[in-house]
A and B are shown apart, each in its own frame.
Chain A
Amino acid sequence: MLAPDVHLPAVSPPAISAPAISPLTCLLSVTELSIERGGFALFRPLSFQLQCGSVVMIAADNGVGKTSLLRTLAGLASAAEGEFQWHVAARELRFLGHQPGLKGALSLLDNLRFWLAQDQCGWDAAAVEAGLRRFNLRGHEEQPAAALSAGQRRRVALLRLQLSPGQCWLLDEPFANLDQHGIALVQELIATRLAQGGSVILTSHGQLPVPIAVLRVALVAV
Chain B
Amino acid sequence: MGFWTWLNRQGSPPRFFDWTKHWVRWCWYLFFPTLLFGLYLALLVSPADYLQGESARIMHVHVPSAWMSLTVYFIMAVQAVGVLIWRLKVCEALMLAAAPTGAMFTAVTLLTGMLWGRPTWGTYWVWDARLTSELVLFFMYLGIVALAQAYSDRRAGARAAAVLCLVGVVQLPIIRYSVEWWNTLHQGSTIRLLGESSIHASMLWPLLVLTLATKLYFLAVWLSRARWLIVHSERQSAWVLQRLGLAP
Contact = CB atoms under 8 A, between A and B. Distances in A.
A38 interface: yes
Nearest to A40: B236
Interface string B142-156: 000000000011111
Give chain A's interface residue range (CB within 8 Å of chain B): under 10
Interface residues of B, number: 6
A204 B82 CA distance: 39
A72 B105 CA distance: 40
Contacts of B156: 78
A42 B65 CA distance: 46
Contacts of A39: 154, 236
Contacts of B154: 39
Interface in A12-46: 36, 38-39
Nearest to A38: B152
A38 B153 CA distance: 6
A222 to B, nearest CB: 13
A39 B155 CA distance: 10
Contacts of A38: 152-153
Interface in B103-158: 152-156
A28 B236 CA distance: 31
Contacts of A36: 153
B57 to A, nearest CB: 49
A35 B126 CA distance: 52
Nearest to B233: A39
Nearest to A36: B153
B63 to A, nearest CB: 43
Q: In the complex, which of the residues A36, A38, A39 has the most CB atoms of chain B within 10 Å of its own CB atom?
A: A39
Contacts of B152: 38
A38 B236 CA distance: 13
A123 to B, nearest CB: 36
Interface string B222-243: 0000000000000010000000
Contacts of A78: 155-156
Interface string B31-43: 0000000000000
Interface in B150-208: 152-156
A35 to B, nearest CB: 11
A39 B151 CA distance: 12
A71 to B, nearest CB: 13
Contacts of B236: 39
A38 B155 CA distance: 11
Nearest to B154: A39
B5 to A, nearest CB: 18
B230 to A, nearest CB: 14
A38 B152 CA distance: 7
Contacts of B153: 36, 38
A78 B156 CA distance: 9
7 contacts: A36-B153, A38-B152, A38-B153, A39-B154, A39-B236, A78-B155, A78-B156
- Listed from nearest, the 7 A-B pairs whose CB atoms lie closest are A38-B152, A39-B154, A78-B156, A78-B155, A38-B153, A39-B236, A36-B153
